[in-house]
Structure 1
Amino acid sequence: MSTSATRQDIVVGVDPREDWRPAVGWAADEAHRRGLLLRLVVAVPPLHEPRRPGDLPRHREFEEAATRALEAADAWVRERRPEIRTTATLLDGVPAPTLAGLTREARMVVLGSRRLNRVAEFLSAGSLAVPVSAQAHCPVVVVVRTARSTGRPPHLVVGVDGSEPSQAALALALEEAELRGCAVRAVAVWQPPAFSLRGRDTPLDAERRLLAETVAGWAEKYPGVRLGHEVVTGSPVEALAEAAEHAEALVVGRRGDGGYLGMRLGSVVQGLLHRAPCPVITVPAEERP
């Protein structure tokens, strides 16, 4: 498997049925910052046997729409970012596993999101955010189509809980912030217990110390990045979504490769893909340098 240092392209999925510009624009900016090739792709599902009447015309129609979308996206990027290199590829395969396969060699994969709820996402054949993020070998960015300019000083928010995946997320957030010239806000979430003992060191105090120790080492590696940290209270999904209200992106770590998709991704990351008000970058633990 290639490492993050040897991966040489930013992959973006172009959805012919939706407005692809938010995701493609995000990916083009990332390719520009990193000096990497931007690879625009559409995966067209193959025809299955036995074929039903009308399958072939519909398949050809989708292929034509995919080709038009790729050409339009490529032209749009060339006009917007003429300095970056691009390729446009029509792939034959089921979209989710095909794009997940590309994560083995990509530096980053970028997808758009229609902000479906969990039931709608489960029922939607075209939904890619959860299955690709759960199986990816590189960071996956899910760009909300309704994302808007915040008018606040640019910063990234990263969820930190001391785990290996969150360490990988913190590393990626700092790397990304260094490229962008922005700050990082590391956020740990603490859920208050039903009761506590007076006069003793509280779990909240311990959480604050752990977070401070965690970010201290990383601050030394990225001295040019302003790194702040805080512990917030509440449920992880709601607290992190609120913390990222004005962020350029929210960075979170992903679990390992075992189990079904939901187990790999984790309930918090799944919830944030549906609730976060900004792009969500999911980072696999293997990404940590």
Structure 2
Amino acid sequence: GAHMVVVGCRGQDTFHRAVLGSVSTGLIHHAHCPVAVIHDEAPNLLGPSPLPVLVGIDGSPASEPATAIAFDEASFRGVDLLAVHAWTDSDSSGVLSKHWSVLQSRAAEILAERLAGWQERYPDVTVHRRLVFDRPARHLLDESESAQLVVVGSHGRGGYAGMLLGSVSAAVAHAARIPVIVARQC
């Protein structure tokens, strides 16, 4: 099988964006390998860029393939890696202020667990960690404005589950202006 599928998005009108969007969404949810989505609005990065590689880490096993690809890409490109763990809780009104330090500490543990061992394997990659209480897709899109590549994992929830639950990976892949690699857990 393929090591990676690369999909370009060039459609300018709503119809073409919907059709291309459905193809890339299908691949993101069902491909058995990583999927790279390259947008026509992507800045021309033919030359070396000092911008970091951005990886979204949610703490699940689906983060592992994304972390592996992100470290490999950062090392290959000779740039830093920005590892982001963003989380939100719709019912956090009173809990947030009372338990902020506990939530933040747990988030730091999750990020540290998922990065464990990778920094030793890639000593040439400087890692910056960021913990954010925000919707993951929104924050990754904000961070992507100052990155050259985004790498996210996919839980593989295709079909109705993926549509109903929403997909951070699909949202980022469709809305980011820079290349996005969606790593599958195979």
Tell me the TM-score normalized by structure 1: 0.55
Residue in structure 1 matched with residue 52 of structure 2 by the alignment: 155
Tell me the TM-score normalized by structure 2: 0.82
Residue in structure 2 matched with residue 138 of structure 1 by the alignment: 33
Instruction: Give the gaps of 5 or more residues in structure 2.
Output: none
Q: Shift of the alpha carbon at 1:123?
A: 5.0
Q: Shift of the alpha carbon at 1:200?
A: 7.5
Which structure is larger by alpha-carbon Rg, 1 or 2?
1
Letter in structure 2 aligned against 1:194: S
Q: Deviations over 1:254-276 (max 9, x none)?
A: 123x6517628952112112221
Residue in structure 2 matched with residue 167 of structure 1 by the alignment: 64
Identity of aligned residues (%): 34
Q: Shift of the alpha carbon at 1:228?
A: 1.5
Output the CA distance in 2 between the equivalents of 1:126 and 1:238: 19
Output the CA distance in 2 between the equivalents of 1:248 and 1:154: 5
Output the CA distance in 2 between the equivalents of 1:263 and 1:222: 33
Residue in structure 1 matched with residue 86 of structure 2 by the alignment: 189
Q: Deviations over 1:59-92 (max 9, x none)?
A: xxxxxxxxxxxxxxxxxxxxxxxxxxxxxxxxxx
Does residue 110 in structure 1 map to residue 6 in structure 2?
yes
Within the candidate set 232, 239, 245, 2:139 is matched to: 239
Q: Number of paired residues?
A: 180
Measured on the aligned residues, the alpha-carbon RMSD in Å equals 3.0
Q: Deviations over 1:10-38 (max 9, x none)?
A: xxxxxxxxxxxxxxxxxxxxxxxxxxxxx
**Conserved? CA contact 1:115–1:144, under 8 Å:** no
Distance 1:120 1:191, change over 3 A: farther
**Conserved? CA contact 1:255–1:266, under 8 Å:** no
Q: Shift of the alpha carbon at 1:182?
A: 1.6
Output the CA distance in 2 between the equivalents of 1:116 and 1:233: 34
| Ranges of 4+ aligned residues in structure 1 off by more than 4 Å | 119-123, 149-152
Letter in structure 1 aligned against 2:94: F
Q: Shift of the alpha carbon at 1:244?
A: 1.2
Does residue 129 in structure 1 map to residue 29 in structure 2?
no
Output the CA distance in 2 between the equivalents of 1:116 and 1:273: 17
Output the CA distance in 1 between the equivalents of 2:100 and 2:78: 41
**Conserved? CA contact 1:154–1:183, under 8 Å:** yes
Residue in structure 2 matched with residue 263 of structure 1 by the alignment: 162
Output the CA distance in 2 between the equivalents of 1:173 and 1:121: 30
